Amino acid sequence: MSLQVELDRKNLLRNTVILNLVMAVVYTLLGHLARIMSIPPGNVTAFWPASGLALALMLCFGYRLWPGLLCGNIAANLPAFFDPSSSASIGTTSLVGLGIGVGDVLQTVTACYGIHRYIERPFKGFFKTGSLGWFLVICSISHTLSPSFGVSALYFGGLISPENFLYTWITWYTGDLLGALYVSVFVMDLIGKKSLVGWSKSGVLGLIVIPAISYYLVTADRNLFFLIFLFPFVVFFTVSYRGLYVSTLNIGIVFASIGALIGSIEDPKFFNERLMAMESFMFVLFLINNIILAFINERESLRKELDEVALLSMQNSKLAALGEMAGGVAHEVKNPLAIIEGHARIAKRLLIKDADSQGKVLERLTKIQDMVRRIDKIIHGMKSLTHSSVGEEASVFRADQLVEDIKSISAERLKTLHIEFVVDARHDLQIYGNRIQISQVVLNLLNNAVDAMVDHEVESGRILLKMMASDGGISIDVINSGPKIPVDIVERVFDPFFTTKEVGHGTGMGLSISQRIMSNHGGRLTLVPNTEETTFRMTLPGPPRTKTSA
């Protein structure tokens, strides 16, 4: 055990060293890239992507990456103001670099703590509407630390004047915040393996064209108002592609716009105004994109939860049906067992009394075999009802197999309630689909019909199961002689959680789940209007045609 613990400790140490090296190297490279857009006098940049990288990696791999972050930050920033002219200047500028690095580490650690504290499962549910609000608040507050430490270090190191303190702090803050917002999302999409949707040609074209347009608008007219016309394209792109496409596009627009602004404007005052306007534009762009993504993610999450609820409700409805028929099944199995026991007793007596009674014994054994088959059908029906159909593939089966599934489960209940069950179908009629799920839909319609007859005390009720070929597929009608569905609720019968049954006697999910099952099969479940008797119709397509070579 001690040897295994020692090996685990060594592996952890090795992985930590490797991750810190990766953090330091990548942070340094991104820092040098961002310094191309640095602005005098403090040489701070309007967009610092390394802050987003540090945030995402620390969220993923933990606080143990702080040494790599500190080293990477010093290596990225120190060359901008390092003065080797004297030992005093070397010491002063080195302390400035250390102060900037410490501020960046505290900023990233604080942001990570806040995100883990207030956002549940940041990598899986990072951008829901509530999480997005927390993310913006946490980053906005925590990212005051690095500019506060950094600009103070520059000021006390004599690298900026008092009149430039506020402007440098604001530029540093907005650059760090934009980097954290944009790049952390990109890295988290990358780590989360949110694919580029198959590298769509139109998507890749958008990644090139939209940033190019933003670059042109900034360099041509120097009027940032025209960047508003980018929003419809960005919104369409966000809804269409999502994932890495969107985060890549955002970073492309940021680099193109800020790079164009810095390269084309010489007047410092005019430049400062336009820079603030540009960063405001980037913040609004981030908000629009990620609010859209948040609503899309919430809708997909809700749809997934509804699917899980539907599957659970389907399984519960199966168990409820199983409970309802338990007494009937016990009676159904008890009778054949009694018959088996009687025939076996008679066969044994015949063998003892008369050695030549082979024919009579064979007859008794044949009846025993028939009863065993009957029990097997009942048990098979119960197994089919309770078996989960998730992952089952569609296949071709006959109409008589579907009828057998239904009869094995419902025959005794129908018999006890004196409800006639009639089948109108060719036994060799072919059905294509998931046999368990289709049986569940028919059984649900049949149980609803039985419940309606029992609730309204219908005497001598009748249910007709009618199947016929229709338009290359099949049509299955479940027709009952019970009470008609009131006109005022016809439009609501397929709504989730709608039920006319008493509380505790129905979930209101049966027809909704059945309709979804049919939709997943490429078919439909409808209530046929203007019929003498209540009729639900299932339509299913035929099996897909296999392509034959010419």
* Count of C-beta atoms within a 10 Å radius of residue 21: 14
Q: Please tell me whether residue 479 adopts helix, strand or coil conformation.
A: strand
Identify the burial level of 385 via C-beta atoms within 10 angstroms of its C-beta, where 0-12 means exposed, 13-18 middle and 19 or more buried.
buried
CA 447 – CA 413 distance, rounded (Å): 10
User: Considering the chain, what percentage of its residues have pLDDT values greater than 90?
Assistant: 14
Query: pLDDT value at position 233?
Result: 63
CA 363 – CA 342 distance, rounded (Å): 13
Pick the more confident residue, 485 or 205: 485
Token pair of 480 as six digits: 């009952």
Query: pLDDT value at position 319?
Result: 59
Total of domains in the chain: 2
Residue 511 belongs to some domain of the structure: yes
Q: What is the mean pLDDT of residues 48-52?
A: 89
Residue 136's nearest CA partner among 177, 95, 90 is 177
Residue 245 belongs to some domain of the structure: no
Is the Cβ–Cβ distance between 233 and 211 less than 8 Å? no
Residue 61 belongs to some domain of the structure: yes
Pick the more confident residue, 19 or 505: 19
Residue 212 belongs to some domain of the structure: no
Boundary-marking domain end, from 190, 221, 254: 190
Instruction: State which of 24-38, 112-126, 186-200, 255-269 shows the largest mean pLDDT.
Output: 24-38
Domain of residue 371, CATH code: 3.30.565.10
CA 88 – CA 72 distance, rounded (Å): 24
CA 236 – CA 258 distance, rounded (Å): 23
CA 333 – CA 486 distance, rounded (Å): 39
Identify the burial level of 501 via C-beta atoms within 10 angstroms of its C-beta, where 0-12 means exposed, 13-18 middle and 19 or more buried.
middle
Residue 270 belongs to some domain of the structure: no
Query: pLDDT value at position 470?
Result: 81
Query: pLDDT value at position 549?
Result: 40
Is the Cβ–Cβ distance between 400 and 441 less than 8 Å? no
Q: How far is CA 107 from the centre of its chain?
A: 32
Boundary-marking domain end, from 190, 209, 231: 190
Q: What is the mean pLDDT of residues 499-528?
A: 77
- Same domain for 181 and 329? no
Residue 283 belongs to some domain of the structure: no
* Count of C-beta atoms within a 10 Å radius of residue 95: 13
Query: pLDDT value at position 195?
Result: 42
Reported residue count of the chain is: 550
Identify the burial level of 383 via C-beta atoms within 10 angstroms of its C-beta, where 0-12 means exposed, 13-18 middle and 19 or more buried.
exposed
Beta bridge partners of 424: 466
Domain of residue 64, CATH code: 1.10.1760
332 contact partners, CB below 8 Å, separation of at least 6? 378, 411, 412
Residue 445's nearest CA partner among 488, 491, 476 is 476
Nearest-5° angle of CA 14, CA 20, CA 22?
Answer: 105
Token pair of 505 as six digits: 């006697």
User: Mind listing the pLDDT tens digit for each residue in 76-109?
Assistant: 888 888 888 888 888 998 999 999 999 999 999 9
Q: Please tell me whether residue 191 adopts helix, strand or coil conformation.
A: helix
Please say if the pLDDT value at position 385 is more than 60: no
Question: Would strands 473-480 and 462-470 be described as parallel, antiparallel, or unpaired?
Answer: antiparallel
Q: What is the mean pLDDT of residues 522-546?
A: 86
Instruction: State which of 104-113, 178-187, 309-318, 463-472 shows the largest mean pLDDT.
Output: 104-113
Query: pLDDT value at position 125?
Result: 44
Pick the more confident residue, 392 or 544: 544
Lowest-confidence pick of 308-312, 394-398, 508-512: 308-312
How many alpha carbons lie under 13 Å from residue 331 in its C-beta half-sphere?
Answer: 12
Q: Find tokens 């990548």 and name the residue.
A: 26
Residue 301 belongs to some domain of the structure: no
- CA distance between the termini of the chain: 67
- Same domain for 185 and 323? no
Query: pLDDT value at position 550?
Result: 39
Give residue 124's domain range.
14-190
Is the Cβ–Cβ distance between 482 and 456 less than 8 Å? yes
Residue 222's nearest CA partner among 261, 188, 183 is 261
Boundary-marking domain end, from 190, 211, 246: 190
CA 486 – CA 162 distance, rounded (Å): 80
Q: What is the mean pLDDT of residues 412-423?
A: 84
Q: Which stretch of DSSP H or E encloses residue 474? A: strand 473-480
Q: What is the mean pLDDT of residues 257-268?
A: 59
DSSP letter assigned to residue 488: G
- Residue 478: C-alpha distances to residues 47, 408, 447, 516 (Å): 66, 17, 11, 17
Residue 232 belongs to some domain of the structure: no
In Å, the largest CA–CA distance within the chain is 124
